[in-house]
Structures are given as C-alpha cells and as structure tokens.
Amino acid sequence: MQLDKQQLPPEKFERVVIDSDSAERITKPSLSFWQDAWLRLRKNKAAIVSMVVLVLLVLMALGRTAFKRSLGGYSKSPSC
C-alpha cells in the first residue's frame, strides 16, 4: 500500500448533513397492488409471450369445441 504517495484531501472527510424531512419524503406516487403487478408483468417479456401462448391455446380449445358442436355434436361411438 502506497499511502505516502497518495494524500486524500480533507474535503473527502466532511460530515454530510441530512435533513430528516427530505429523507422521509416519498418521491414516487403510491401504486395499488394490481397496478404494481401489471407494471412488473409488462416489463417481463417472457411472461407476456407465455401469456399470449396460453390464451391462444385456450381459444383454440374452446374454438374446437364450438366447431365440433356446430357440425353435429359429439357422437357416442369413439372416433380416433
């Protein structure tokens, strides 16, 4: 350690004064649980893609059921 070559100036050791009123001030508006959850979800791109895939799967399953019923319903005999 070469402390002799490097001298630190006395300004580096001045005491920092913190006003307690400004330290306790909330700078951001408060968010509800659902607002915070939605903001976090929108930032997570993988979660958005997964949610879209799940919605598409559900829509295809419901669409297949509705399409099958419109063609005459389900038969009692098993069809592979």
Tens digits of residue pLDDT in 29-42:
889 999 999 999 99
Domain that holds residue 53: 33-63
* Whole-Å CA distances, 71 to 52, 64, 74, 77, 78: 28, 11, 9, 16, 16
pLDDT 10s digits, 51-63: 999 999 999 988 8
Q: Is residue 28 part of a domain?
A: no
On the question of pLDDT at 9 being above 90, the answer is no
Q: Is residue 19 part of a domain?
A: no
For the chain, percent of residues with pLDDT exceeding 70? 82
Q: Is residue 57 part of a domain?
A: yes
Tell me the pTM: 0.48
Q: Is residue 7 part of a domain?
A: no
